[in-house]
């Protein structure tokens, strides 16, 4: 009744269309309705702008508009790019936000104003969606850019040796190509928000006179999110008021240890309810999780620093007790150089000051130490406010979503490896994984949000074969992929490579996977139990063993995905792929690399690694 009366009153639709719409809506559950609503909104938005961009074909409006390119893996740079565009728009500047993966490099010579917002990964490497542009700019093909005015904003983490290296690369290379920096690059650490806001305001103030004088403000071309498939990014999370700044207090339904009693690993399957949040997600997305620190850790820290737990402190504009600040708002389990430096200065400790002044030594010292370890090693007295000022704000942890809403509706599932280790004679637990595994009881709430990952997506066509490489907790998004393909009745072949230490202890989701194999949803399942024999066997060994077939699947159009450990596994798997392409594709090493680059550009080679 509600829909028909509303539609009848103000509708531009024909009677037949109204009937069709009513029929469709009556068949949809609330999640599907939210999805359709977001889909239509995004379609209308794009229809009012330029044609829907296809991969690699986005031509941002050139001339006197501002093009903002983002290189981002976990959403931070993307959000800042979008906020910058919003800010520009309020000043009447046309701003186009473009995912670097979708940017047409031939457009560069037409750009007049370009902003690059990018993070850094690996050992100073570009995020996946920035690799192609980065390679292009550093190649001989890069054009001279004397017409270009640009600015670069870098995101990184000072715990890494190559802090904000990709931003530095882009800055240096654009200058070499003859472009002019209009605003000094900022390299921002994990707690970047305020500094990024300031940087953006300063930049817009500088650009405003030039860009508003030469262009009439009009609709901006937002080339992201793109409407590219059912369940596309245009809709994920869009029906909800909840996000990173305003997380949803979600109920923990269940948590279950899915590694055996004798396993060296503690992996939990976690189910969380999103009921009432309006939050939606796509397979490939991640869930952001905020957590409370361990009360025992807080108590020990206060004891060592002789600070009374109810001492009031100020965090931004908020006044709260030091105990509350340490428990709910500040980072206690990850350590980072800025804490050591500020703490050393506050307690005036000569040895820690000396250590802090040697960056490489400090990084090595901090690598296996939490904040409490530093305070245990270098006890000293400081005020509650000094302690709080030395600590950075807690950053939510991301977990690849291990479920599809097509199967679990308003739930979200995770596969969490608990960070648990003994060091310096004491047990240690990771902040978020420890909270989820040890301190959060079923029925209690956890603050969460959905972080979209538009660069880790199932193929548009259900017929396309997929190869998934996900050892350890890297299995998580592939469980989501399989659930989704199952629910859709997708006919494309699915091949999973999984690895973990022992078959009997660590075969995550064994029954589900074997059932999928029996039913034919999983076409092939290859497992590498690394420690079940004298010498290690890893997923890349299995890939190599089946190299000819992997090559054949790629020739048949397969999409290839890697998820899990970034430091070693993802690199070794990539090398195995290069070897396979070289051997079975009869290519040189350079040609094999070019082949993989083409797969990446075509969004057929995607990584979700951490
Ligand atoms: C996009 C993305 C997706 C992710 N998906 C998943 C997922 O599906 N499942 C999953 O489990 N994780 C996933 N992660 C990792 C996850 O976000 C957290 O980093 C992880 O759970 C650790 O967080 P924590 O708060 O428990 O530990 P933290 O408090 O952050 O502590 C971790 C730190 O402890 C130290 N440390 C860890 N182990 C040891 C050790 N043995 N010895 C000494 N020091 C050590 C290291 O310095 C490490 O940085 C993902 C990360 C990203 C970016
Ligand atoms: N960025 C972060 O903050 C963060 C935090 C926590 C975890 N992580 C990462 O998350 C990853 C996932 O952890 P997990 O415990 O689920 O699994 P994991 O440690 O990646 O182990 C899964 C399997 O991969 C094997 N493996 C080890 N080295 C490999 C290599 N070079 N190539 C291929 N396989 C290899 C392991 O074998 P063996 O162990 O027998 O060698 C094991 O069988 C961790 O490795 C860690 O790097 C990151
Ligand atoms: C696996 C991994 C590797 C990283 N490597 C670096 C690095 O080498 N240098 C750096 O400055 N930051 C590094 N970072 C930090 C990210 O750049 C930082 O978290 C950034 O805010 C991410 O932004 P994004 O969400 O836009 O990708 C790394 C982060 C991860 C998870």
Look at residue 158 in the predicted model and tell me its pLDDT.
94
Query: Is 379's pLDDT higher than 80?
Result: yes
CA of 189 to the centre of ligand 2 (A): 25
Mean pLDDT of the chain: 90
CA of 568 to the centre of ligand 2 (A): 8
Look at residue 222 in the predicted model and tell me its pLDDT.
46
- For the residues of 360-396, what is the DSSP string, one character each? HHHHHHHTT--HHHHHHHS-----HHHHHHHSPBPPP
pLDDT (mean) for 155-183? 97
Look at residue 134 in the predicted model and tell me its pLDDT.
98
Q: What is the DSSP-derived secondary structure letter of residue 160?
A: S
- For the chain, give the percent of residues with pLDDT over 90: 85
Look at residue 52 in the predicted model and tell me its pLDDT.
38
CA of 529 to the centre of ligand 2 (A): 12
Query: Is 291's pLDDT higher than 80?
Result: yes
Which atom of ligand 2 sits closest to the CA of residue 567? 47
Look at residue 341 in the predicted model and tell me its pLDDT.
97
- Which residues approach ligand 3 with their CB closer than 6 A? 72-77, 119-124, 127, 155-157, 160, 162-165, 566, 610
Look at residue 21 in the predicted model and tell me its pLDDT.
72
Query: Given the DSSP bridges, would you call strands 248-257 and 267-273 parallel, antiparallel or unpaired?
Result: antiparallel
Look at residue 507 in the predicted model and tell me its pLDDT.
98
Query: Is 368's pLDDT higher than 70?
Result: yes
CA of 518 to the centre of ligand 3 (A): 40
Lowest mean pLDDT among 64-68, 97-101, 153-157, 509-513: 64-68
Cβ of residue 286 lying under 6 Å from some atom of ligand 1: yes
Evaluate whether 222 touches 96 at the Cβ level (below 8 Å): yes
Query: Is 34's pLDDT higher than 70?
Result: no
Lowest mean pLDDT among 7-11, 190-194, 328-332: 7-11
Look at residue 5 in the predicted model and tell me its pLDDT.
47
Lowest mean pLDDT among 28-32, 467-471, 505-509: 28-32
DSSP lists the bridge partners of residue 25 as none
Cβ of residue 564 lying under 6 Å from some atom of ligand 2: yes
CA of 459 to the centre of ligand 1 (A): 28
Burial label for 208, CB within 10 Å (0-12, 13-18, 19+), is: middle
Query: Is 605's pLDDT higher than 70?
Result: yes
pLDDT (mean) for 383-408? 98
Separation CA 466–CA 373 (nearest Å): 45
Q: Which of 458, 509, 489 is nearest to 284 (CA)?
A: 458
Separation CA 43–CA 52 (nearest Å): 9
pLDDT tens track for 240-286: 999 999 999 999 999 999 999 999 999 999 999 999 999 999 999 99
Nearest CA to ligand 3 atom 1: 610
Look at residue 64 in the predicted model and tell me its pLDDT.
75
Q: Give the SS3 label for residue 205.
A: helix
pLDDT (mean) for 150-164? 97
Handedness of CA 228, 234, 237, 243 (dihedral sign): positive
Look at residue 35 in the predicted model and tell me its pLDDT.
61
pTM (two decimals): 0.89
Cβ of residue 417 lying under 6 Å from some atom of ligand 2: yes
Look at residue 3 in the predicted model and tell me its pLDDT.
47
pLDDT (mean) for 487-491? 97
Query: Is 22's pLDDT higher than 90?
Result: no
Look at residue 238 in the predicted model and tell me its pLDDT.
54
Reported confidence tier of residue 12, pLDDT bands at 50, 70, 90:
low
């Amino acid at each position: 009744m509600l829909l028909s009366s509303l539609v009848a009153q103000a509708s531009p639709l024909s009677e037949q269309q109204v009937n069709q719409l009513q029929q469709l809506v009556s068949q949809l559950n609330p999640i599907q309705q939210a999805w359709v609503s977001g889909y239509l909104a995004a379609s209308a938005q794009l229809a009012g702008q330029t044609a829907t961009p296809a991969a690699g074909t986005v031509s941002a409006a050139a001339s006197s508009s501002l093009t903002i390119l983002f290189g981002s893996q976990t959403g931070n740079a993307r959000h800042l790019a979008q906020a910058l565009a919003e800010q520009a728009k309020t000043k009447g500047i046309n701003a186009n936000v473009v995912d670097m993966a979708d940017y047409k490099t031939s457009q560069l010579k037409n750009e007049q104003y370009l902003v690059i917002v990018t993070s850094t990964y690996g050992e100073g490497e570009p995020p996946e969606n920035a690799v192609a542009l980065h390679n292009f700019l550093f190649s001989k093909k890069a054009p001279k850019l004397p017409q270009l005015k640009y600015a670069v904003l870098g995101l990184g983490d000072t715990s890494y040796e190559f802090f904000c290296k990709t931003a530095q690369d882009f800055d240096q290379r654009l200058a070499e190509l003859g472009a002019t920096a209009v605003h000094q690059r900022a390299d921002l650490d994990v707690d970047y928000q305020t500094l990024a806001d300031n940087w953006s305001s300063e930049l817009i103030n500088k650009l405003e006179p030039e860009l508003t004088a030469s262009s009439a403000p009009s609709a901006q071309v937002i080339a992201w999110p793109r409407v590219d498939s059912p369940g596309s990014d245009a809709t994920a999370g869009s029906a909800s008021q909840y996000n990173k700044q305003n997380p949803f207090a979600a109920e923990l339904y269940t948590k279950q240890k899915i590694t055996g009693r004798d396993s060296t690993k503690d992996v939990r399957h976690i189910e969380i309810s999103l009921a009432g949040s309006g939050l939606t997600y796509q397979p490939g997305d991640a869930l952001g999780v905020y957590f409370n620190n361990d009360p025992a850790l807080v108590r020990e820290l206060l004891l060592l620093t002789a600070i009374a737990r109810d001492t009031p402190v100020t965090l931004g504009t908020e006044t709260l007790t030091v105990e509350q600040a340490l428990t709910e708002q500040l980072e206690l389990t990850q350590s980072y150089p800025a804490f050591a430096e500020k703490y050393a200065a506050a307690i005036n400790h000569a040895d820690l000051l000396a250590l802090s002044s040697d960056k490489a030594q400090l990084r090595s010292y901090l690598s296996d130490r939490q904040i409490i370890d530093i305070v245990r090693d270098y006890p000293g007295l400081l005020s509650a406010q000094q302690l709080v000022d030395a600590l950075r704000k807690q950053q939510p942890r991301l977990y690849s979503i291990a479920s599809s809403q097509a199967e679990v509706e308003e739930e979200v599932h995770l596969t969490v490896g608990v960070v648990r280790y003994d060091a310096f004679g004491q047990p240690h637990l990771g902040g978020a994984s420890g909270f989820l595994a040890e301190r959060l009881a079923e029925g209690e709430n956890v603050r969460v949000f959905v972080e979209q990952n538009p660069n880790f997506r199932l193929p548009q066509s259900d017929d396309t074969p997929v190869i998934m490489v996900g050892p350890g907790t890297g299995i998580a998004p592939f469980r989501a992929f399989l659930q989704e393909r199952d629910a859709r009745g997708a006919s494309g072949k699915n091949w999973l490579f999984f690895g973990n230490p022992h078959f009997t202890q660590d075969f995550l989701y064994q029954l589900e996977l074997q059932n999928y194999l029996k039913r034919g949803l999983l076409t092939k399942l290859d497992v590498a139990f690394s420690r079940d024999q004298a010498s290690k066997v890893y997923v890349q060994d299995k890939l190599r063993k089946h190299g000819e077939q992997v090559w054949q699947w790629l020739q048949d159009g397969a999409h290839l995905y890697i998820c899990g450990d970034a430091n070693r596994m993802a690199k070794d798997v990539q090398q195995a792929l290069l070897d396979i392409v070289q051997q079975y594709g009869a290519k040189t090493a350079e040609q094999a690399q070019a082949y993989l680059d083409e797969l990446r550009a075509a969004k057929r080679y995607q990584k979700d690694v951490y």
